[in-house]
């Protein structure tokens, strides 16, 4: 027999069933839609990036065209400046060439007179130097001869001293040799001598 279910129990039971099924349905819905949302957000982002890249390309093209126009204007300015500098340089070069030629002529005449003057001075100086050198050479020869004589006397004295030292050395050698021989003979005699 069936028991009567109260309204409160029925509501609780329905609420519990709905809550369980609703939770599962919501989870399933969220999982499916979350994947779709991710795909949609990625596609939207890609589209935005493509649009931004397109606008960036367009602005860069505009900038490049403006820079190219600036370069063309600067190139024209440089050409004008270059032509102006070339004309100025040519006139300056002509002026400098004439100045240099006159300066070269002036320097040549001065150099010739200076060279003549220097030649005469050099010749007199050469004569004076030769006379001084000859006198100095005579004096040096006399000194060298005196030094040679001193050196020869000193050499003879040193040789005599070395000879005396050599004689003493030979005498000492003989004396020591004879002394050792006598000692050796005495020791051998003492060794064989009966005690």
Please tell me the predicted confidence (pLDDT) of residue 35.
72
The answer to which of 34-38, 58-62, 99-103 has the lowest mean pLDDT is 34-38
Which tens digits make up the pLDDT trace of 160-180?
999 999 999 999 999 999 999
pLDDT over threshold 90, residue 3: no
Please tell me the predicted confidence (pLDDT) of residue 180.
93
DSSP states of 40-93 as a string? HHHHHHHHHHHHHHHHHHHHHHHHHHHHHHHHHHHHHHHHHHHHHHHHHHHHHH
Q: What average pLDDT score do residues 148-164 get?
A: 92
Per-residue pLDDT band for 195 (boundaries 50, 70, 90) equals low
Quote the CA–CA distance of 55 and 57 in Å, as a whole number.
5
Give the alpha-carbon dihedral of 121, 126, 131, 133, to 10 degrees. Answer: 130
Please tell me the predicted confidence (pLDDT) of residue 145.
92
Please tell me the predicted confidence (pLDDT) of residue 49.
83
pTM of the model: 0.29
Quote the CA–CA distance of 49 and 55 in Å, as a whole number.
10
Q: Phi and psi for 2 in degrees, rounded to 5? A: -85, 135
Sign of the C-alpha dihedral computed for residues 54, 58, 64 and 68 taken in this order:
positive
């Amino acid at each position: 027999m069936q028991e009567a279910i109260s309204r409160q129990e029925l509501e609780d039971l329905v609420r519990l069933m709905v809550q369980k099924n609703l939770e599962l349905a919501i989870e399933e819905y969220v999982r499916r839609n979350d994947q779709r949302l991710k795909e949609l957000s990625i596609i939207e982002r890609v589209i935005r990036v493509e649009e931004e890249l397109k606008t960036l390309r367009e602005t860069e093209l505009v900038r490049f065209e403006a820079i190219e126009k600036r370069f063309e204007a600067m190139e024209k300015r440089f050409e004008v400046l270059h032509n102006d500098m070339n004309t100025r340089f040519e006139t300056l070069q002509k002026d400098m060439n004439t100045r240099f030629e006159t300066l070269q002529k002036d320097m040549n005449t001065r150099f010739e007179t200076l060279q003549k003057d220097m030649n005469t001075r050099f010749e007199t100086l050469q004569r004076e130097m030769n006379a001084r050198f000859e006198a100095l050479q005579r004096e040096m020869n006399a000194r060298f001869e005196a030094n040679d004589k001193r050196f020869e006397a000193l050499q003879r004295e040193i040789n005599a001293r070395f000879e005396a030292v050599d004689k003493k050395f030979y005498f000492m050698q003989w004396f020591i040799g004879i002394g050792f021989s006598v000692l050796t003979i005495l020791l051998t005699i003492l060794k064989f001598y009966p005690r």
